[in-house]
A and B are shown apart, each in its own frame.
Chain A
Amino acid sequence: MEAKSLLASSTALDARSKLLRQQIVKVLKFSRRGHVGAAFSLVEILRVLYDDILRFDPHNPRDVKRDRCILSKGHGCLALYTILSQKGFFPESELWKFCAPDGMLGGHPEHKIPGVEASTGSLGHGLSLGVGMALNGRYEKSDHRIFVIIGDGESNEGSVWEAALCAGKHKLDKLTVIVDYNKQQSYATTMEVQDMEPFADKWQAFGFAVQEIDGHDVDALRNALKGIPFHTGKPNALICHTVKGKGVSYVENNLNWHHKNKITNEEIESLLKELA
């Protein structure tokens, strides 16, 4: 497949998707820093999970029957925080203290935050944690599900594949890996740094049932996630083709927006204008 076609996603964003991105930009207004590109590529994935798929109670965030969602790609947390606050896990006021000395929300999510299942940030850890949770779920004969969101760059980590081997071995069909496949890492595209293709084949080889969709197509996400398990007796891999920085033309696929420091008022205004 040509690199360009892998990078393209012409899916239009609806009002809710734009609003969620606006909220992320408002957080940046206070913190002046953040992994913007990574957060923007995750918005639809998290939105559909929390709107339509996950069973949870924000007033009882550790309810044993809840579905667990681990953002293993921890640097995408701006997208997670905005959704969690909207769902009532914590007050919106916490968003404005992102990365502040007295803030609860840091540049990578921590387990102490209501709604956050695991402290992540160092890539490659979340899937093993999810496998452990899924093994427990089976032991407890519970029907709750485990979702682990990973990045494509994160898939460079050997620990991801150790966990994948284990998930396949144990046939954990209540475990779903969602890959935010935006084809960009920090230094360059995934094709240049570490091409993961044939990516779907790899997951299949590890014993997963695999589907690939446009990761910004809300309907496609909903349909795919409602179809879990894709195949009884196999863990699920949902490869979401996304665009890093999706929603703002000059942020899309722009490596300079992997992580931004000292974001200016002008940049904030420009981002909000594009997302209007």
Chain B
Amino acid sequence: MRKTCLDQVYELAKNDPRIFFVGSDLGYETLKQFKSEMPDRFFMEGVSEANLIGISAGLGLEGKIVYANTIATFLSRRCFEQIVLDMALHHVNVRLIANGGGLVYAPLGPTHLAIDDLAILRAVPNMTIVAPCDAQEMKRLMPLTVDYQGPMYIRMAKCGDPIVSSDHIPFKIGKAMALREGKDALIVTTGITLGLALKAAVILGKEGVETAILHMPTIKPLDHEMLLDYVRQTSVIVTIEEHSVIGGLGSAVAETILEANFDTIKNFKRIGIPDVFASSYGTQEDLMRLYGITADNLCAVVKQLRDSKVKVVV
């Protein structure tokens, strides 16, 4: 996905002189061709994320479209105020390409795990947040980012994730996609968790549980309309994300469902990273397994919610 994204930046920039690239201290020969062919629009400014955002916003104030790139934690937490004030308050067309959203950098420890980026950025006015599920979805997204108005955060997975998206469904920023129909349960996904949901749905289907899957690559603005259409049809909803259960997709979905004030009971659960720092290393899959961000746990949670009775606390 990362290669696809940066290849896209290069291709888009070749055809549009408004497009600039600003990196921090990325890997050797990152966007080598971009630098060689469009040196005036290529910047690598070192380990200084506040400045990275500031200069990107300054370029944005002058009408340029800027793709700024570094590791997700440093492109969200580290320079959060710059994102809020320089980018969002000024409503500039800066796109943050965030490497390694979620648990991608598992071996590197908590300093590099973007477990809260969706939460903190969701609270920023004017911000758009997109987490594509695979390289193909990223390829569909990128051309749409050129003329999209306002700042955007693009959460990248690692390279090599399986292709699970559907090219039959047109990709639109701000729109959810129904990848599967079913009235027994609804699974809501973002980023790579679509792959887990598709696996879980097959397993559940064999047990007679028909599950709808709503993929929401855009977390902000959330497609409330489509979400509520699908929530209306079922009484079991599970969200699954490679992000803290606090403040991300699950919270966004919960807010929407609760404020819809349905007459019928909705059984709901967020699957994600608990409110802890990672205390072990290993691979991304190891950590996802540890936190239950798996197809198996998704099946278990769906069945648990279907079987649960509502407890009324007086």
Contact = CB atoms under 8 A, between A and B. Distances in A.
A136 interface: yes
Nearest to B48: A162
18 contacts: A111-B89, A125-B81, A127-B54, A128-B55, A131-B51, A132-B57, A132-B59, A132-B60, A132-B61, A133-B61, A135-B43, A135-B58, A137-B62, A139-B41, A163-B51, A165-B46, A165-B51, A169-B45
B50 A133 contact: no
Interface size class, chain B = 20 to 34
Interface in B54-89: 54-62, 64, 81-82, 85-86, 89
Interface in B144-171: none
B86 A129 contact: yes
Contacts of B61: 111, 117-118, 129, 132-133
Given A128-B55, A162-B50, A163-B51, A136 B62 contact: yes
A31 interface: no
Given A128-B86, A129-B86, A158 B56 contact: no
A124 B57 CA distance: 14
Interface in A118-163: 118-119, 122, 124-125, 127-137, 139-140, 158-159, 162-163
Nearest to A128: B54
9 tightest Cβ-Cβ pairs between the two chains A and B: A132-B58, A128-B54, A132-B55, A162-B51, A162-B48, A136-B62, A129-B58, A159-B50, A132-B59
What range describes how many residues of A lie at the interface?
A: 20 to 34
A166 interface: yes
Q: Which of A127, A129, A137, A162 has the most CB of B within 10 A?
A: A129
Given A128-B50, A135-B59, 9 more contacts: A118-B61, A119-B85, A122-B81, A128-B82, A131-B54, A131-B55, A132-B61, A140-B62, A169-B45
Interface of B: 40-41, 43, 45-46, 48, 50-51, 53-62, 64, 81-82, 85-86, 89-90
A122 B85 contact: yes
A35 to B, nearest CB: 18
Contacts of B57: 128-129, 132
Contacts of B43: 135
A197 B198 CA distance: 62
B89 to A, nearest CB: 5
A159 B86 contact: no
Given A133-B58, A135-B43, A158 B50 contact: yes
Contacts of A163: 51, 54-55
Nearest to B91: A111
Contact of B64 (A125, A129, A136, A162): A136
Contact of B55 (A119, A124, A135): A135
Nearest to A130: B58
A125 B58 CA distance: 10
A207 to B, nearest CB: 14
A129 B92 CA distance: 12
Contacts of A111: 61, 89-90
Contacts of B82: 125, 128, 159
A114 to B, nearest CB: 15
B62 A125 contact: no
Nearest to A111: B90
A20 to B, nearest CB: 28
A163 B53 CA distance: 11
A166 B90 contact: no
A166 B52 CA distance: 9
A118 B90 CA distance: 8
Given A122-B81, A125-B85, A136 B54 contact: no
A130 B56 CA distance: 10
A70 B86 CA distance: 13
Nearest to B22: A132
A73 B121 CA distance: 26
Nearest to A133: B58
A131 B90 contact: no
